[in-house]
Structures are given as C-alpha cells and as structure tokens.
Amino acid sequence: MAQQLDAKGRIALITGANKGIGFEIARGLAEKGATVLIGARRPQAGEEAAQALRQEGWAAVPVTIDIVDEASVAAAAEQIAEQFGKLDILVNNAGISIERGKEPSESDVALMRETYETNVFGVVAVTNAMLPLLRKSDAGRIVNLSSGLGSFALRSGPDAPLSHMRSLAYNSSKTALNALTANYANEFEGTPIKINSANPGLCATDLTFGNGRPASEGAVAAVELALAGADGPNGGFFGDQGKVPW
C-alpha cells in the first residue's frame, strides 16, 4: 500500500458509522488522529456512537445523514461546510443486503430497486453533495465499501470462489458500485482527489447475522485507502491483503 497521510487535522465523514464496519472505520481513523463525523440516519444512534468514541478519547461528531433522502444529504453537507469548511475523507460505507439466498430467476425487482437506492444511487448522491467540500482538501479521499461479491472475477463461472453466494440485488449493486469507483476515478485523474473500492471480507455484523471475522479487521483496508498518500492508487479495488480482482 501507498505511503500514508498524517491523519491529524483531517476531517472524515463515514456514512452508516453508528455500527458494524463503519463504526470500526471511524474508530480506526480517529485513533490515527482524524476528526470523524459519524454519519447515521438515526440521530440518536449517531450521537451514541460518537459518544462512545469520545469516551475513548477521540474526536467524533455525529452527522445525521440518510443517504437515500436528498434533503438529508444536502443538510449534512451544509452542516459540514458550516462546522468544518472542508472534507478530507468520505467513506461511503452505508449499505444494505435485503434479499438473500434466492436464485436470480426468483429475484424481486422491488427489493432490487431498494437495494440500488442505497448501495448505488445513495453513494452517487452523497459523493456529489460532498465533492465541493472534498475539493477544498489538499488530498481528498473517497472510499466505497464494496464486496468480493461484486467482483466479476470472484463470481463468474462455476469454479469461481464466490459463485455459490446468491443475491442478484446485493451482488450486482456492489458490481455497479465498483463501476462508480472506476468512472469517478477517471474524472479525478490529475487532481488531488482519489477514489477506491475497499473489500472488507466477510465480517460479523448485523448485515451478516454475525458471521465472519471481527468488523475491526474488515475496516483495515478502508482506513488505509482513506489515508493513501499522493503516490496511492486511484480507481482500484483493495482488501487488507492487497489488490482484489475486478
């Protein structure tokens, strides 16, 4: 991985940071000295998570943001502009998995739309709303929380390691998210902003009903990408073991 930026003085917004991997990404960045903005759609959950980090001695501020609600996203951007005047790091972590175990032929289009609203369109809404603030940073970083399930290489063909994991809605939403990363990266080329996808691997959170490794381990790649130096990647897909195939 690239050289790491000094986190001190950096302002980081993590969506869906009230629990799970998002909370651990916030903790990881806060431990390194960043001021973390705990994005949460439920204000009380955001306040509780921020308070938990403050009790550990870190700088954490709650920001109410429901990524599928344009007014909420705009209000969050306004709050950050007023309180901090810039944003250095945006971690698009909030995500849902609401359709499981079904074959694509049984997929429910309504669930698919709902999944894309959060995992894809919500990410575009938040990214575009925060870009004016990220452009005020000397090194804006965007990290999209993707999944191995969004990888063509890991899912295509009967022998692919993740081909048995069914959910057309979730899996394809993460493939679309990776496409967002690649497309934004082209726009950011030659600017101080970098965007990458992070693969946390299977982590024990509410999303997985507690199956997998600790969320703190899943947070490692996202924290590194959020602090990647000027020599760091733009438009890549990484886990804590390095590059993930598209």
Distance CA 170, CA 102 (A): 11
Site for ligand NAP contains 205 (CB under 6 A)? yes
Asked if residues 238 and 198 have their Cβ atoms less than 8 Å apart, the reply is: yes
Distance CA 79, CA 60 (A): 14
Q: Looking at 8, 206, 210, 231, which residue binds ligand NAP (CB under 6 A)?
A: 206
Per annotation, catalytic residue among 170, 184, 194, 243: 170
Number of CB atoms found within 10 A of residue 136's CB: 15
Q: Which is nearer to ligand NAP, 34 or 244 (CB)?
A: 244
Question: What are the structure tokens assigned to 63, written together?
Answer: 């920001």
Residue keyed to tokens 């993707």: 146
Site for ligand NAP contains 197 (CB under 6 A)? no
Asked if residues 170 and 115 have their Cβ atoms less than 8 Å apart, the reply is: yes
Question: What are the structure tokens assigned to 61, written together?
Answer: 């501020």
Site pattern 21..60 for ligand NAP (x: CB under 6 A): xx------------------xx--x---------------
Q: Which stretch binds ligand NAP (CB under 6 A): 2-10, 104-112, 152-160, 201-209?
A: 201-209
Q: What's the distance, Cα to Cα, between the start and end of the chain in Å?
A: 18
Per annotation, catalytic residue among 32, 102, 174, 194: 174
Could you tell me the smallest distance in angstroms from the CB atom of residue 114 to ligand NAP? 10
Distance CA 56, CA 93 (A): 22
Q: Which stretch binds ligand NAP (CB under 6 A): 5-13, 132-140, 180-188, 196-204?
A: 196-204
Residues that bind ligand NAP (CB under 6 A): 15-16, 18-22, 41-42, 45, 65-68, 93-96, 118, 122, 145, 147, 200, 202-203, 205-208, 212
